Structure 1
Amino acid sequence: MAVEVGSIVEGKVTGITHFGAFVELPGGQTGLVHISEIADTYVRDVRDYLTENQVVKVKVINVANGRIGLSIRQVYGPPQRSGGRPPRGRNTSFEEKLARFLKESEQRQQDLKRSVESKRGGRGSRRS
């Protein structure tokens, strides 16, 4: 089955890289969803949005030299604003954001502490 630019199809995520995700389309062809085409917000890590073997709807945005360019964010269009509320979708609640921040902060503190201790010569060693 030949894919056509502008068509929306379902596919399965077969691989995730730091620059995007590969999606297997019907007919066995594989296309790339670039990191900039995953969501309307800034995507730092593709794995925050997609997992391998996940079934996703994608829009074919270009076909050139045997490569297929795909988009997830164009399937759903731009976020709709109504009544001053933020758009619905992948937004997380304040509590989830706070919990993630605290977890990451704690990890950074532990890494920094380990780094400083290793430069001092280990735990509990002090210069006299």
Structure 2
Amino acid sequence: MSVEVGSKVQGKVTGITNFGAFVELPGGSTGLVHISEVADSYVKDVNDHLKIGDLVEVKVISEKDGKTALSIKKAIEKPEAQTSSYSQRPPRQGRADNRSKDFRSKGQFKPRESFEDKVSKFLKSSEENLSSLKRNTESKRGGRGGRRG
């Protein structure tokens, strides 16, 4: 007798490994409860949660090539209010909502200088910097470009 995917059945733990537990199902077939499906919390060692011979209620997750995947945590009925632990988190602490301080969206931003003014100022300062750099490095260089006298 094959068990249907999605059904809940009672089974007996027949073996425990480091990656899960083997459970004997009604009809003589055996399925595996993976370590990630043993409990809702983190499971470091399956032996902390199950022992050989325990009767457990499992839900059949899948059945492929004669291998049956089982879950203990999905067999447990949860109230609908506890669907996710993320929904129970408190709101984030920290800075206030910065979207209200966005000055560009309200039309209050008026540039003091035009783009052309900024570019001409940049070009002027960069030419000054280059000329002072050339003046200071020409005298220190040897060879053809240096002063003679």
Question: Which TM-score band applies after superposition, normalised by the shorter structure?
Answer: 0.5 to 0.7
Q: Relative contact order (C-alpha < 8 Å, sep 6+): which is higher?
A: 1
| Cα contact 1:40–1:78 (8 A) shared by 2 | no
Secondary structure class of the residue paired with 1:53: coil
Q: CA RMSD in A?
A: 1.7
1:38: which partner in 2?
38
1:48: which partner in 2?
48
Cα-to-partner distance string for 1:54-97 (whole Å, 9 max, x where unaligned) = 00000000000110000000011457778xxxxxxxxxxxxxxx
Taking structure 1 as the reference length, what is the TM-score of the superposition? 0.60
Percent identical among aligned pairs is: 61
1:17: which partner in 2?
17
Cα-to-partner distance string for 1:24-57 (whole Å, 9 max, x where unaligned) = 0000000000000000000000000000000000
Count of aligned positions? 82
Alignment of 1:1-128 (within 5 A): 1-78=1-78
Query: If you compute each CA radius of gyration, which structure gives the higher value, 1 or 2?
Result: 2
Taking structure 2 as the reference length, what is the TM-score of the superposition? 0.52
Deviation at 1:12, TM superposition (A): 0.2
Q: Which amino acid aligns with 1:52?
A: I
Where does structure 2 lack aligned partners over 5 or more consecutive residues?
A: 83-149
